[in-house]
Amino acid sequence: MNSSEDKPVSPPSHFIREMIAADVRAGNQGSPVVTRFPPEPNGYLHIGHAKAICLDFGMAREFGGRCHLRMDDTNPAKESMEYVESIKTDVRWLGWDWGEHFYFSAHYFERMYDVACGLIRRGKAYVCELTQEQWKEYRGVPTRPGKESPFRNRPPAESLDLFARMRAGEFPDGSLCLRAKIDMASPNIHLRDPVLYRIMREHHYLTGDAWCIYPMYDFAHPLEDAFEGVTHSLCTLEFEVHRPLYDWVIDQLEDLPVRPRQTEFARLNLSYTVMSKRKLLELVQTKRVSGWDDPRMPTLCGLRRRGVPPEAIRAFCDEIGITKYNSLTDVALLEHCIRDVLNKTAPRRMAVMDPLPVTIENANDLPSFVEAVNNPEDPSAGSRRIPFGPALLIERGDFMETPPPKYFRLSPGKSVRIRYAGFLACTGVQKDANGALTGITCRWAPSEANLKVKGTIHWVPADARPVEVRLYDRLFTVEEPDAHEEKDFKDFLNPDSMKIASAFVEPALLEVQPGDRVQFERVGYFVADSEDSKTGVPVFNRTVTLKDTWAKASAGDAR
RNA sequence: UGCCCGAUGGUGUAAUGGUAGCACAACAGACUCUGGAUCUGUUUGUCUAGGUUCAAAUCCUAGUCGGGCAACCA
């Protein structure tokens, strides 16, 4: 109980956890903690959403409450069922469960309409006939108050009639709107008689053409939260100035079981990528990437296809914390979280990317196979047999005729350990007519020889099959692609963000299932592509490289 | 130049008036059948100026810098 060594390490707290904890201590209005994740189904979820998802679902779980998944679909123009399905898939993949609590804003349209009518009756809202151009004039600017709409004080009965006829489809799109009557002199623009409903003849993927008026976010969102008994409505910083309006809408409601409260936190910015739906859509539409699930995309489906385990994303979200500071998180932290999970879970396999043939002279001494451990980090992963023989393939980079200092690999007259299979001493080199290296000859010694060598290299049998591998790198060449004032973010696309190559792989690698994650020893973590892998013919995507201090050191020497 | 929010090592965060800590990154060493992993160590920080206080990253004032707000988007 009091041993300090094995105390569980809990993630550092943050202001939202502290706030909820305080609310719970005070009784939380007699309610369990209820949060919600409310994406608009107009695009695919990305790792920025993962931060919000882990917060919303994480707080609910931590405090024994619940979290709703809600489609915030009040603007049918850009929304579709395709996105709804992808969102459910991605949230589930991340490891969260909304239970019975899956909702659509569209299912509240009738109730919202009733609330709007109540507002009109009590003189809190009115139908405005000003055009959008005229309204720009009336609205004023942040530094100067606006002026009141000439329709502001029309009798409620008149507004009620007009509002009903708006719904009935008597007016063209954009000709009328319903406004809240708040304060045209407010320094907060959002309080200057904001639009509550607009006329928009747009087919809704759920309600079809039943409606031609749709509620605005600022009206709909607090109502949805209130209808569902949400206690803690967590959203990103750009909604901070909307909070007074959120509260105004809540104040108009009677007999609320719980009063929802909005709290804002900073959205995630990740280096070397972009996060806005608009820009991601642009990359897809201009074919800079193969689709939303291109393994270079920061979308959850892209990260999944890249081979990133959901646990790594959750660990990352715990690691980055929650604040109100607009930060730029180093993608190296994400990569660390990915390696951390994969190191413990990914089976080790051998694959040679750039082969150099090796012929072993003392062929008669060789075993016909070797036993290889599947994961040194996980004894329960067992071991496998790899065929062995006098003809092998090693990595070209693992041999140098005239090695630089501190080169621990093979060179003439020197020895290395070959993974799981004893030692090789280089006895000769073969070259073609141009003097290019075509192969080497070696003498083999068994593991029992216990040679003192500094390096271990990987290998495959010479009859290993080649498979396609896709080597992914960061999508952009600069930390903040969208921070440049004149240049477009697409100007910073990394031309080498994907390289197609082949690798000669040990037999076990031909048996993987799509989605299986492995480590190519000394190279990196790879996943069998979920789309393009066929039975016996896998295609591998590189998730992330292994750390390589030698590459770093030798690159440094070259400079 | 109106309103709102923010600022802690290179990066992300913790410290809620009382020893500035953790993680990533970087660097060094130990260990190792992955130049991986693991372990140990090192470097680097409270935006500025005043004030309150025995004591300030924390409270107050002013400034600087950064972000957000003027869709019938969310």
Catalytic, out of A267, A474, A490, A522? A267
- Selection from A204, A177, A182 nearest residue A193 by Cα: A182
| A31-50 residues near strand B (Cβ < 7 Å) | 38, 40
Q: Is A403 exposed, middle or buried (0-12, 13-18, 19+ CB in 10 A)?
A: middle
Catalytic, out of A17, A40, A377, A479? A40
Q: Is A465 exposed, middle or buried (0-12, 13-18, 19+ CB in 10 A)?
A: middle
Is A61 one of the annotated active-site residues of the chain? Answer: no
Contact by Cβ (8 Å): A469, A348: no
A537-550 in b/e burial notation, b at 16+ Cβ within 10 A? ebbbbbbbbeeeee
Residue pLDDT, tens place only, A539-556:
999 999 999 999 888 875
Secondary structure of residue A348 in the 3-state scheme: strand
Low-confidence ranges of chain A (pLDDT < 70): 1-11, 556-559
DSSP state of A168: H
| A237 CB contact with strand B at below 7 Å | yes
Other residues' Cβ atoms within 10 Å of the Cβ of residue A499: 11
Instruction: Return the closest nucleotide (C1') to the Cα of A143.
Output: B2
Which segments of A238-276 does DSSP mark as H helices, in order? 243-251
The DSSP element (H or E) to which A387 belongs, if any, is: strand A383-387
Collect all residues with Cβ–Cβ distance below 8 Å to A403 and sequence separation of at least 6.
Answer: A409, A411, A414
User: pLDDT at position A3, please?
Assistant: 34
d(CA A482, CA A46): 17
Contact by Cβ (8 Å): A487, A505: no
Q: How far is the CA of A555 from the C1' of B27 (A)?
A: 16
Q: How far is the CA of A2 from the C1' of B20 (A)?
A: 27
Q: How far is the CA of A78 from the C1' of B65 (A)?
A: 38
| A521 CB contact with strand B at below 7 Å | yes
Is A384 one of the annotated active-site residues of the chain? Answer: no
d(CA A470, CA A42): 30
User: pLDDT at position A557, please?
Assistant: 54
Q: What is this structure's pTM?
A: 0.95
Contact by Cβ (8 Å): A331, A540: no
| A420 CB contact with strand B at below 7 Å | yes
Six-digit token string for A99: 């239970």
Contact by Cβ (8 Å): A195, A222: no
> Which chain B positions come under 7 Å from a protein C-beta?
1-8, 10-16, 21, 23-27, 33-38, 66-74
Amino acid identity of residue A266, one-letter, is A
Contact by Cβ (8 Å): A341, A352: no
Contact by Cβ (8 Å): A44, A299: yes
Instruction: Return the closest nucleotide (C1') to the Cα of A135.
Output: B72
DSSP state of A91: H
User: pLDDT at position A499, please?
Assistant: 97
Torsion angle in degrees (nearest 10) through CA of A511, A514, A516, A518: 70
User: pLDDT at position A555, please?
Assistant: 77
Q: How far is the CA of A468 from the C1' of B53 (A)?
A: 69
Contact by Cβ (8 Å): A398, A354: no
Instruction: Return the closest nucleotide (C1') to the Cα of A200.
Output: B72
Is A192 one of the annotated active-site residues of the chain? Answer: no
User: pLDDT at position A4, please?
Assistant: 35
Instruction: Return the closest nucleotide (C1') to the Cα of A215.
Output: B72
Q: What is the ipTM of this complex?
A: 0.97
| A431 CB contact with strand B at below 7 Å | no
For tokens 């065929």, what's the residue?
A387
Catalytic, out of A181, A277, A306, A384? A277
Six-digit token string for A102: 């899956």
Other residues' Cβ atoms within 10 Å of the Cβ of residue A330: 14
Q: How far is the CA of A89 from the C1' of B29 (A)?
A: 47
| A422 CB contact with strand B at below 7 Å | yes
